[in-house]
Structure 1
Amino acid sequence: MSEAPSTSPVCYRHPERETLLSCSRCERPICTSCMNDASVGHQCPDCVREGQRGQRQAVTAFGGNLAAGRAGYATRAIIGVNVLVMVASVILGGPKAIAGAGGFFGLLGNGTSLTDAGEVLGWAYYADHSVHGIAEGEWYRLFTAMFLHYGVVHLLLNMMVLWQLGRYLETVLGPIRFTVLYLLAGLGGNVACYVFQAPNQASAGASTATFGLMAAMFVVNRRLKLDVTQLIPLLVVNLIFTFSMSQISKAGHVGGLVFGAITAAVLAYAGTAKNRTIRQAVGCALILAVLIGAAVWRTSDILG
Structure 2
Amino acid sequence: MSVPSYGSSEVPAGPSCFYHPDRPSYIRCQRCDRLICTDCQTPAPVGFHCPGCLDEARRRRPAQRTEFGAPLRADEKPRLTYAVIALCAVMYLLQWTAQTTGANVTGYLSYAPAHTSQWLMEPWRMLTSAVLHSPANVMHIGFNMLALWIVGRVIEPAIGRLRYAALLVLSALGGSVAVLWLTEPNVPTVGASGAVFGLFGSLFILMRSSGAESGGVIALVAVNMAMSFIVPNISWQGHLGGLVAGALVALVIAKAPRGRRVLWQTLGLAGIAVALIALTIVGIPLVNPPQLGQPPILGF
Structure 1 residue 94 and structure 2 residue 79: aligned? no
Provide structure 2 residue ranges, at least 5 long, that are not aligned to the other structure.
Answer: 1-9, 290-300
Q: Which residue does the alignment assign to 1:281?
A: 266
Q: CA separation of 1:153/1:177 partners in 2, compared to 1, >3 Å: closer, same or farther?
A: same
Q: Which residue does the alignment assign to 2:106?
A: 115
Q: CA separation of 1:239/1:303 partners in 2, compared to 1, >3 Å: closer, same or farther?
A: closer
Q: CA separation of 1:253/1:15 partners in 2, compared to 1, >3 Å: closer, same or farther?
A: same
Q: Which residue does the alignment assign to 1:106?
A: none
Structure 1 residue 55 and structure 2 residue 40: aligned? no
Q: Distance in 2 between matches of 1:80 and 1:236?
A: 28
Structure 1 residue 168 and structure 2 residue 168: aligned? no
Q: Which residue does the alignment assign to 1:241?
A: 227
TM-fit CA distance, 1:171:
4.1
Match of 2:87 among 84, 87, 103: 84
Structure 1 residue 138 and structure 2 residue 129: aligned? no
Q: Which residue does the alignment assign to 1:217?
A: 203
TM-fit CA distance, 1:118:
2.5
RMSD: 3.2
Q: Which amino acid aligns with 1:173?
A: I
Q: Which amino acid aligns with 2:62?
A: R
Q: Share of identical aligned residues, percent?
A: 33
Tell me the TM-score normalized by structure 1.
0.76
Q: CA separation of 1:303/1:36 partners in 2, compared to 1, >3 Å: closer, same or farther?
A: farther
TM-fit CA distance, 1:291:
0.6
Q: Deviations over 1:136-185 (max 9, x none)?
A: 33222222222233355433322222232223333443333333222222
Q: Distance in 2 between matches of 1:37 and 1:154?
A: 58
Q: Which amino acid aligns with 1:83?
A: A
The answer to whether the Cα contact below 8 Å between 1:192 and 1:252 also exists between their aligned partners in 2 is: yes
Q: Distance in 1 between matches of 2:175 and 2:253?
A: 19
Q: Distance in 2 between matches of 1:265 and 1:10?
A: 59
Q: Distance in 2 between matches of 1:121 and 1:198?
A: 8
Q: Which residue does the alignment assign to 2:140?
A: 154
Match of 1:198 among 144, 164, 184: 184
The answer to whether the Cα contact below 8 Å between 2:17 and 2:25 also exists between their aligned partners in 1 is: yes
Q: Which residue does the alignment assign to 1:65?
A: 70
Tell me the TM-score normalized by structure 2.
0.77
The answer to whether the Cα contact below 8 Å between 1:89 and 1:113 also exists between their aligned partners in 2 is: no
TM-fit CA distance, 1:254:
0.7
Q: Which residue does the alignment assign to 1:25?
A: 31
Q: Distance in 2 between matches of 1:72 and 1:269?
A: 24
Q: Deviations over 1:182-213 (max 9, x none)?
A: 22222111221223222332222221111112
Q: Distance in 2 between matches of 1:113 and 1:41?
A: 72
TM-fit CA distance, 1:238:
0.5
Q: Which amino acid aligns with 1:143?
A: L
Q: Distance in 1 between matches of 2:108 and 2:37?
A: 63
Q: Deviations over 1:241-273 (max 9, x none)?
A: 111222221110011111112222222233x42
* Highest RCO, 1 vs 2 (Cα 8 Å, sep ≥ 6): 2
Q: Distance in 2 between matches of 1:13 and 1:116?
A: 67
Q: Distance in 1 between matches of 2:90 and 2:241?
A: 27
Provide structure 1 residue ranges, at least 5 long, that are not aligned to the other structure.
Answer: 98-110, 124-132
Q: Distance in 2 between matches of 1:20 and 1:142?
A: 70
TM-fit CA distance, 1:85:
4.2
The answer to whether the Cα contact below 8 Å between 1:65 and 1:174 also exists between their aligned partners in 2 is: yes
Q: Deviations over 1:93-135 (max 9, x none)?
A: 42979xxxxxxxxxxxxx9644333222333xxxxxxxxx344
Q: CA separation of 1:233/1:93 partners in 2, compared to 1, >3 Å: closer, same or farther?
A: closer
- Count of residues paired in the alignment: 276
Q: Which residue does the alignment assign to 1:104?
A: none
Q: Distance in 2 between matches of 1:154 and 1:26?
A: 64
Q: Distance in 2 between matches of 1:284 and 1:168?
A: 20
> Please, which moves more after superposition, 32-41 or 278-287?
32-41
